[in-house]
Structure 1
Amino acid sequence: MSCFIEIMGQGKPLVLLHGWAMNSAVWERVVKRLSANYRLFLVDLPGMGQSRPVYPYHLHSLAETVAEEIPGVSTILGWSLGGLIAQQIALNQPDRVEKLILVGTNPCFVSKPDWPHGIAARHFEQFNQRFEQDFNATLLNFLTLQCMHAKDARATVRQLRTAFAAKPTPTQENLNQALNILLHTDLREEVSRLFQPTLLIHGDRDTLAPVTAAHWLAMHMQRAQLRVIAGAAHAPFLSHADAFCESVEAFMADDQATQQVSS
């Protein structure tokens, strides 16, 4: 098995793909509630958590590797980098993806002359340098910032710190390779081919993937609806877990899933 996957709960299959430098422990805040209604597949992406790296390491190889390990047909929820992988799986094997849930993601994370909805590459590179200097302190700082508006922020950070400590730290080589995916991927031309019902969940205070990117996706995907969570940053499932889970549950239960919503 190329990917380490923890499976829990009962119901429709829901695959959760984490973001860059993270692992499946990042879902700690929402797994209890979501596993009450769905069969969760908590994936450690290749080279992160308890999963071995793949070679060559690029978006297509990650998408292929994850697709080999998940159920035949499922809903895929991808956060940040995980959102790019979820989209690539849906493009490569559309019949295997019932629905998509994209959280804090962007078809093109880096800003360009014709793309004002990204951020400068140097911000990602500076973030990577901080991880290289002190991975654990940088991770803790990031999680603390994301949890700032949570009702029980301190307890959540403690819980996440314990969960992350139980898994291996990614190598700098794997972090660099995964960062290159964020820096160089541009799916803008492909997203119009995604026909699956899609829920976009985005925080209005997201500085890593501006909310304008989510609005762009909502307009350019065939069947997308947008849920903007006020006060949330890049990880709304940490800061606004109840609103996040409510959005997921409503979308999973909605067989039409065609109406665009925002709040």
Structure 2
Amino acid sequence: MSAPLVLLHGWGLSSAVWAPLTTQLSSDLTIHTPDLPGHGAAPAAGETLTDWADALIPALPDGATVVGWSLGAQLALHLAAHAPHKVARLLLIAASPRFVQTDNWPTAIPVDTLTEFRQSFDLDPAATQRRFVALQALGDAARREVSATLTATLTPADANRQPALATGLRLLAETDQRPLVSRITQPVRLLHGSEDKLMPVAAAEWLADHLPNGRLSVFQHSGHAPFVSRPADCATLIESFIRD
């Protein structure tokens, strides 16, 4: 029997977003798809990435292959460094060690762009979520399918969920995982869409170069959610990585 498989989704969505992928994975895999704190059916957890990781840890099996997408990739990197008994292998989709630009990190979105996005979310969260879905689907050959799937699996930004979702945006703005990357010694596979308009491929290339055991696969004609637009291809890559 293979090691358990954990799938950590991205900001503003729920674990239901993994359905296109999980239907393509072998039935002999034990798959865990937790909701991130404050997303889906999960209760909110503190204000830091550590708080969010600590909230996830009790439900995660030991020795898992952990797949993290976008914000979920940030959490997966944190878990690999700080709870290595939980992470035997790491597969990162649309990942970046830092989501916003700095003087020494140009391979990200401008700070002002994410600041405006956060302000927009405070004023009109539903419209901001729709805009975020559009950005994730942009450039993908299966743009309509990606948009429909992401829209259907959004966590509603109601009064109960909006504070946790706003915290998630702040974590995207503030988190910088570059200092811990060299400490992650598990085998790591990176999967990135060539047309990702949120996270440039260069960010994944940097991770592949700086992770001790990192390797990158780029899916052509795919955007920020290649596991939605090309689930069979992603499933094949994941299963090959697990059994390598």
Q: Report the TM-score when normalising by structure 2.
A: 0.88
Question: What secondary structure does 1:77 align onto?
Answer: strand
Matched, 1:58 2:58: no
Cα distance change, pair 213–199 in 1 and its aligned pair in 2 (3 A): same
How far apart in 2 are the matches of 1:242 and 1:150?
Answer: 15
The Cα shift of 1:150 comes to: 5.2
2:23 corresponds to which residue?
Answer: 32
1:20 corresponds to which residue?
Answer: 11
Query: Share of identical aligned residues, percent?
Result: 36
Matched, 1:206 2:196: yes
Cα distance change, pair 158–203 in 1 and its aligned pair in 2 (3 A): closer
State whether residues 16 and 43 of structure 1, in contact with CA within 8 Å, keep that contact through their aligned partners in structure 2: yes
How far apart in 2 are the matches of 1:82 and 1:221?
Answer: 18
1:235 corresponds to which residue?
Answer: 225
2:109 corresponds to which residue?
Answer: 119
State whether residues 69 and 95 of structure 2, in contact with CA within 8 Å, keep that contact through their aligned partners in structure 1: yes
State whether residues 3 and 63 of structure 2, in contact with CA within 8 Å, keep that contact through their aligned partners in structure 1: no
Superposition CA RMSD, Å: 2.4
Amino acid at match of 2:243: A
Per chain length, whose mean CA-contact separation is higher, i.e. which structure has more relative contact order (CA < 8 Å, sep 6+)? 2
How far apart in 1 are the matches of 2:106 and 2:69?
Answer: 21
The Cα shift of 1:17 comes to: 0.7
Cα distance change, pair 29–136 in 1 and its aligned pair in 2 (3 A): farther
2:166 corresponds to which residue?
Answer: 176
State whether residues 137 and 224 of structure 2, in contact with CA within 8 Å, keep that contact through their aligned partners in structure 1: no
State whether residues 106 and 209 of structure 1, in contact with CA within 8 Å, keep that contact through their aligned partners in structure 2: yes
State whether residues 69 and 93 of structure 2, in contact with CA within 8 Å, keep that contact through their aligned partners in structure 1: yes
Name stretches of at least 5 consecutive residues in structure 1 with no aligned partner.
1-9, 255-263
State whether residues 24 and 232 of structure 2, in contact with CA within 8 Å, keep that contact through their aligned partners in structure 1: no
Question: What secondary structure does 2:20 align onto?
Answer: coil
How far apart in 2 are the matches of 1:188 and 1:155?
Answer: 33
The count of corresponding residues between Structure 1 and Structure 2 is 242
For 1:1-263, list aligned pairs within 5 A: 12-34=3-25, 36-55=27-46, 57-143=47-133, 146-147=136-137, 149=140, 154=144, 157-158=147-148, 160-164=150-154, 169=158, 171-254=161-244
